[in-house]
Amino acid sequence: MPKFETSHHVAHSAGDMFQLVADVEHYPEFVPLCQDLKVRGRKAIDGNRELLVADMTVAYKFVSETFTSRVTLDPDNLQILVEYLDGPFKHLENRWTFVSDEQRGGCSVNFYIDYEFKSRALSALMGTMFDRAFRKFSTAFEERATKIYGASA
């Protein structure tokens, strides 16, 4: 199964970066390959956590696929867990963690994804594009943070 993991230092606070990544409705404006995202529902769960179910449409050239995920937002621990529910994948799990960096200021944004397409043909077609898109995620979110929060924390 393809996996991708990265840790990227940004000049923004862990709380601000958590809020930016948790704001999934705005992904189509800046996330690579994200054509559309609709939140089906939200509900509070234990403590300060929130659970949402969302449909995300990813597109590249003439190929477009929609998948459904359960997203757990945990602001107290600055973590976001994305679990696959339905669509073109056999498996998909995505985790975000945000860690304050007292020495340098700002925070580290940690991104992990593990996925596998159901179809070998779709995997061959979209796999390379997904890998490239994931490598651009850090930059896309950092640029979005600068646009929303300004040039530094």
Q: What is the distance between the alpha carbons of residues 41 and 38, in angstroms, rounded to a whole number? A: 9
Residue 106 belongs to domain spanning: 3-149
Residue 37 has pLDDT above 90, yes or no: yes
Residue 134 has pLDDT above 60, yes or no: yes
Tokens for 41, please give them: 């529902």
pLDDT per residue as tens digits for the range 40-72: 999 999 889 999 999 999 887 777 889 999 999
Burial class (CB in 10 A: 0-12, 13-18, 19+), 126: buried
Tokens for 151, please give them: 């040039």
Q: What is the CATH number of the domain that holds 72?
A: 3.30.530.20
Give the pLDDT mean for 131-144: 80
pLDDT per residue as tens digits for the range 97-130: 999 998 888 999 999 989 888 888 777 766 666 6
Look up residue 60 and give its amino acid: Y
Split into its structural domains, the chain has a count of 1
- pLDDT, residue 65, reads 86
Please provide the DSSP assignment of 78-146 as one string.
TEEEEEEEESSEEEEEEEEEEEE-TTTSSEEEEEEEEEEES-HHHHHHHHHHHHHHHHHHHHHHHHHHH
- pLDDT, residue 153, reads 45
**Most distant CA atoms of the chain, gap in Å:** 47
